[in-house]
A and B are shown apart, each in its own frame.
Chain A
Amino acid sequence: MKILPKLERKLRRLKKRVTRTSLFRKLDLVHESARKKAFQESCETYKNQIENEYEIRNSLPKLSRSDKEAFLSDGSFHQAVGRVLLVAEFFAMMPVKGVTGKHPSDLSFSWRNIRTCFSLLFIASSLANFGLSLFKVLNNPISFNSIKPIIFRGSVLLVLIVALNLARQWPQLMMYWHTVEKDLPQYKTQLTKWKMGHTISMVMLLGMMLSFAEHILSMVSAINYASFCNRTADPIQNYFLRTNDEIFFVTSYSTTLALWGKFQNVFSTFIWNYMDLFVMIVSIGLASKFRQLNDDLRNFKGMNMAPSYWSERRIQYRNICILCDKMDDAISLITMVSFSNNLYFICVQLLRSLNTMPSVAHAVYFYFSLIFLIGRTLAVSLYSSSVHDESRLTLRYLRCVPKESWCPEVKRFTEEVISDEVALTGMKFFHLTRKLVLSVAGTIVTYELVLIQFHEDNDLWDCDQSYYS
């Protein structure tokens, strides 16, 4: 009985010997060693890669000489908006870390970060300032004109809080933006990549320069006025008494408080301008993404394309729409505040334009600020409506699809474009389209005509009154 298994084993060995010749064995060995080698190699390359990346990340010197790569834009929104957010961080808004990084995964938000602390501190100080001006306005007769400081400070405070909230979502938003961008038809040339970033930085630069000029002019006119009213002997004290009247309505004059008021004033003015610029910049970004898609569609306009092309484009369009919705949810409050603020301030300024100006400095400042305000409002409305315009432009290319390549996918795409209203909104109350510009202009004229009827000249350039915001 014991022989049988032994026999079996022998038979098996024999079989093996028959099937596995020496050549096969050698081949097996070679194969095995090659496999091991390949595995080792891939391990090593991976290791090297990781090490390299780590080295690059660590050894990227803080003050290295930049090469051409550093200045080449990759056409991403994250890169284009980096410097804009950096400026905002300096003015205590949008406390996100890593805004100038190459990749959006470098972005992060934390409550213990110094930027966040700075921002929180500034919100607290604005709140105090807002309380002071509320106190002052409530202790005086209330009119359309006199609530201007409350509206100004209140909206700045609101925008600060919204921006803090936005900063928390910003890393995820930028990551989503990155995934959408990666999927879009790529830019062909460096010039097209560079274009969006260039527009954004130009808008930012121009807006900042103009608001800076406006602030300087306002200081000149305030100094002029302060010396005219002349409450005390010290001209600097006069100036601060005039510009920070809400603080010194409660307490007596002190230099620290005056400086705090001035600091608060400069920052508030910046933030007030920045909210418009921010809405503009986000809409430039969104519109350029739609344009990127439209450019590709224009290149293939009227050609016979495969259904897969259309489904790809439709998904890309849908992604941008979702991105637009997400951005809109995040910034719609800022848009709302910006639009209503502009409406109110244009009404007030136009109403004031009826008054006689006390001096040339006032007239220059006044008309400059009025034109700046109107121009800025117009720019915000036009840039933000460009998102809607670009999203509708897709339809024009879809209409030119020839009969041969008309397929359910194109039909679905067309119907989606027709029925969707893709635009930034003001808290979903109104869509920002070009038609809105006309209705806003009509509203301003109507209110103005009504307000003029209740207008009296005497109370605005009085020494006791606050005119400065």
Chain B
Amino acid sequence: MRQLKGRNRCNRAVRHLKIQGKMWLKNLKSGLEQIRESQVRGTRKNFLHDGSFHEAVAPVLAVAQCFCLMPVCGISAPTYRGLSFNRRSWRFWYSSLYLCSTSVDLAFSIRRVAHSVLDVRSVEPIVFHVSILIASWQFLNLAQLWPGLMRHWAAVERRLPGYTCCLQRARPARRLKLVAFVLLVVSLMEHLLSIISVVYYDFCPRRSDPVESYLLGASAQLFEVFPYSNWLAWLGKIQNVLLTFGWSYMDIFLMMLGMGLSEMLARLNRSLEQQVRQPMPEAYWTWSRTLYRSIVELIREVDDAVSGIMLISFGSNLYFICLQLLKSINTMPSSAHAVYFYFSLLFLLSRSTAVLLFVSAINDQAREPLRLLRLVPLKGYHPEVFRFAAELASDQVALTGLKFFNVTRKLFLAMAGTVATYELVLIQFHEDKKTWDCSPFNLD
């Protein structure tokens, strides 16, 4: 009896094991199939661009999301329809957390500045923090508007004249990605250089370990209140990296928008250029005028959404250029410092110029149809052409900085003049000794 019972138990266990094994195998199989399905070999279709802005800008937004900006869901979706904004998504909480930690960091920086002498240079961390805090807040608001904006954008894009070949269709997206990639890499390089210049040529090490000493210097505003601890130092460093990225990202994002909008106008211009010398029917002009109008409406809508970021970006660039130029008078303590300094100055200058040029390209492209309309022959000169020309002549189409200034090419000279004026005044109050002093060690 006992043996029988034992055998029964044995059989039952074996059967149980068998069933379990089968189920496990089945699961494994289905899992493998799922993986295989998702890992299909890319076909030609996957690599073809549909020429939409949504598709082109998706990787740039994805990078931004790694750094807690633009918490909008569904950026990797194939069309704009997948976009959504959800307050309960982790992205939203992630960027809210970032906003909170930036505010805390700002409070510590204000505390630090308030304890030292107040002048143009010492308020640098405050300006830096405040501008990024406001910009991140604006990005959060923009994320809310982004799905609607993209819907409008796609609606306008659909009406535009098509590309002739797929290579041409891919070009704007490729150009956009290239610019964003180059800028991101250069800003990463700048950050690495700043770390190198500080870590290897540390004149007044505050701690024996060079890394710890660097971390202490990087978030000095925290360690004036708290005693040194490693985890806090790393948190401070992460915050610093995020801030530095956010600061560059403002400009990159504006460049992307400028490129996208000017590309739309350029597409219209290309089609106009082909047709303008022949007498076209009136319906063609109605079509092109309403198309131009809808692009301008889109530009206005985008402008309403991003003009705050524009103002902050231009203002902070102006301030930092003044500051860096002022610092350039100082003697550099080492060649590593000099390399970092001139590299970052050059980067700042070229980035500000690039933003201005890319964004003002919208204005240039919007003026272009007027030149083309002057070529319309007498036979094709309809009242619609007259109306189109009158509208073009009187409108100023450009992105603005909170409606205070239009971003056109003329702004470049105005800004250069402003920088020169302030620089000349600031030089008169300048004293050399402060910047490379050990006590207030400035780090950007």
Using a CB–CB cutoff of 8 Å, the interface residues on chain A facing chain B are 389, 395-396, 399-400, 403, 406, 411, 414, 418, 434-435, 437-438, 442, 445-446, 449-450, 452-453
Tell me, rounded to whole Å, the shortest Cβ–Cβ distance linking A303 to chain B.
14
Known contacts A406-B387, A435-B405, A442-B418: A399-B293 contact under CB 8 Å: yes
Given contacts A435-B405, A438-B405, 16 further A-B contacts (CB under 8 A): A389-B403, A396-B300, A399-B296, A399-B391, A400-B297, A403-B286, A403-B384, A406-B383, A411-B387, A414-B390, A434-B403, A435-B404, A442-B418, A446-B421, A449-B425, A450-B425
- If the complex has contacts A400-B293, A446-B421, are A438 and B300 also in contact, measured as CB distance less than 8 A? no
In the assembled complex, which residues on chain B have CB atoms less than 8 Å from the CB atom of A400?
A: 293, 297
For window 355-408 of chain B, which residues contact chain A by CB distance below 8 Å?
383-384, 387, 390-391, 394-395, 403-405
Per-residue CB proximity of B281-314 to A under 8 Å, as 1/0?
0000010000001001100100000000000000
Give the nearest-CB partner of A419 in chain B: B394
Leading 4 A-B pairs by shortest Cβ distance: A449-B425, A418-B394, A438-B404, A434-B403
B117 smallest CB distance to A (angstroms): 11
Report whether A453 and B403 are in contact in the complex, using a CB–CB cutoff of 8 Å.
Answer: no
Q: A434 contacts which of B286, B404, B421, B425 (Cβ < 8 Å)?
A: B404
**B428 interface contact, C-beta 8 A:** yes
Chain B residues within an 8 Å CB radius of A442 = 418
A453 and B428 contacting across the interface, CB-CB below 8 Å: yes
> Which of chain B's residues have a CB closer than 8 A to the CB of A445?
422
Residues 416 to 444 of chain B near chain A (Cβ within 8 Å): 418, 421-422, 425, 428-429
Distance in angstroms between the alpha carbons of A182 and B391 in the assembled complex: 32
Instruction: A449 to B418: give the CA distance in the assembly, Å.
Output: 13
- Chain A residues near B395 (CB, 8 Å)? 395, 399
| Residue among A395, A434, A450 having the largest count of chain B Cβ atoms under 10 Å | A434
Q: Provide the residues of chain A in CB contact with B403, threshold 8 Å.
A: 389, 434
- Taking the closest CB of chain A, its distance from the CB of B293, in whole angstroms, is 6
8 contacts between A and B (CB under 8 A): A395-B395, A396-B297, A399-B293, A414-B390, A434-B403, A445-B422, A449-B425, A453-B428
Instruction: Mark B residues whose CB is within 8 Å of A.
Output: 286, 293, 296-297, 300, 383-384, 387, 390-391, 394-395, 403-405, 418, 421-422, 425, 428-429
Kindly state the separation between the CA atoms of A442 and B394 in the bound complex, as whole angstroms.
28
A322 CB to closest chain B CB, in angstroms?
Answer: 23
CA distance A399 to B289 in the complex (A): 10
With a CB–CB cut-off of 8 A, which chain A residues contact B300? 396
User: How far is the CB of A421 from the nearest CB of chain B, in Å?
Assistant: 13
CB-defined contacts of B387 to chain A, threshold 8 Å: 406, 411
Specify which chain B residues have a CB less than 8 angstroms from the CB of A434 in the assembled complex. 403-404
Question: Nearest A residue to B292 by beta-carbon distance?
Answer: A399
With A and B bound together, what is the CA distance between A450 and B424 in angstroms?
A: 12
A399, A411, A418: residue with the most chain B Cβ atoms closer than 10 Å: A399
Residue of B nearest to A410 (CB): B387
Q: Please, which residues of chain A bring their CB within 8 A of the CB of B390?
A: 414
Complex Cα distance, B405 from A442, in Å, reads 13
- C-alpha gap A437/B428 in the complex (Å): 27
Chain B proximity of A386: nearest CB distance (Å): 10
Could you tell me the distance in whole angstroms from the C-beta of B47 to the nearest C-beta in chain A?
39
Q: Closest A residue to B386 by CB, please name it.
A: A411
Contacts of A452 on B, CB cut-off 8 Å?
A: 429
Which of B383, B384, B418, B425 is packed against the most chain A CB atoms within 10 Å? B425
A389 to chain B: closest residue by CB: B403
CB distance from B187 to the nearest CB of A (A): 29
- Chain B residues with CB under 8 Å of A395's CB are 395
Complex CA gap A395/B296 in Å reads: 13
Rounded to whole Å, the gap between the CB of B387 and the closest CB of chain A is: 7
Give the distance in Å from the alpha carbon of A385 to the alpha carbon of B403 in the complex.
11
CB distance from A396 to the nearest CB of B (A): 7
**Residues of chain A contacted by B286 (CB below 8 angstroms):** 403
Minimum Cβ distance to chain A for residue B166 (Å): 34
C-alpha spacing A410/B254, complex, angstroms: 36
Complex Cα spacing A399 to B296, Å: 10
B11: shortest Cβ distance to chain A, in Å?
A: 80
Closest-by-CB residue of A relative to B405 is A438
Query: Given the complex of chains A and B, what is the CA–CA distance between A437 and B311 in angstroms?
Result: 13
Q: How distant is B426 from chain A, measured CB to nearest CB, in Å? A: 8
CA distance A406 to B387 in the complex (A): 10
* Interchain CA distance A313-B421 in the complex, whole Å: 47
Q: Determine the chain A residues whose CB is within 8 A of the CB of B391 once the complex forms.
A: 399
Q: Which residues of A are found within 8 Å of B297, using beta-carbon distances?
A: 396, 400
Hey, which chain A residues are within 8 Å of B293, CB to CB? 399-400
* A453 CB to nearest B CB, Å: 7
Residue of B nearest to A448 (CB): B425
* Whole-angstrom CA separation of A77 from B429 in the bound complex: 52
In the bound complex, residues from chain B placing their C-beta under 8 Å from that of A406 are 383, 387
- Within the complex, the shortest CB–CB distance from A403 to chain B, in Å, comes to 5
Query: With A399-B293, A446-B421, A449-B425 in contact, is A437–B404 under 8 Å at CB?
Result: yes
Q: How far is the CA of A446 from the CA of B417 in the complex (A)?
A: 13
Cβ contacts under 8 Å, A438 to chain B: 404-405
A170-B383 Cα distance, complex, nearest whole Å = 47
In angstroms, how far is the closest chain B Cβ from the Cβ of A43?
58
B408–chain A nearest beta-carbon distance, Å: 13
Most A CB contacts (10 A, CB to CB) among B297, B387, B404, B405 go to B404
Which residue of chain B has its CB nearest to the CB of A442? B418
Tell me the bound Cα distance from A400 to B292 in angstroms: 11
Give the distance to chain B from A409, nearest Cβ to Cβ, in Å: 14
> Roughly how many angstroms separate A396 CA and B293 CA in the complex, as a whole number?
9
> Which residue of A389, A406, A450 has the most chain B CB atoms within 10 A of its CB atom?
A406
Closest-by-CB residue of B relative to A452 is B429
Q: Nearest Cβ distance between residue A431 and chain B, in whole angstroms?
A: 15
- Kindly list chain B residues whose C-beta atoms are within 8 Å of the C-beta of A411: 387
Q: How far is the CA of A403 from the CA of B394 in the complex (A)?
A: 19
In the bound complex, CA of A86 to CA of B300 (Å) = 41
Contacts of A450 in B (CB 8 A): 425
A414 to chain B, nearest CB (A): 8
Chain A residues with CB below 8 A from B418, complex form: 442
Q: Give the docked Cα–Cα distance between A434 and B400 (Å).
A: 11
User: Which of B394, B395, B429 has its CB near the most chain A CB atoms (within 10 A)?
Assistant: B394
A229-B286 Cα distance, complex, nearest whole Å: 79
Distance in angstroms from B319 CB to nearest chain A CB is 12
Contacts of A403 in B (CB 8 A): 286, 384
Q: List B contacts of A399 (CB < 8 A).
A: 293, 296, 391, 395
Q: Which residue of B lies closest to A385 (CB)?
A: B403
Q: Tell me the bound Cα distance from A396 to B391 in angstroms.
A: 11
- CB A388 to nearest CB in B, in angstroms, measures 10
A456 to B405 CA separation, bound complex (whole angstroms)? 36
The chain B residue sitting closest to A400, CB to CB, is: B293
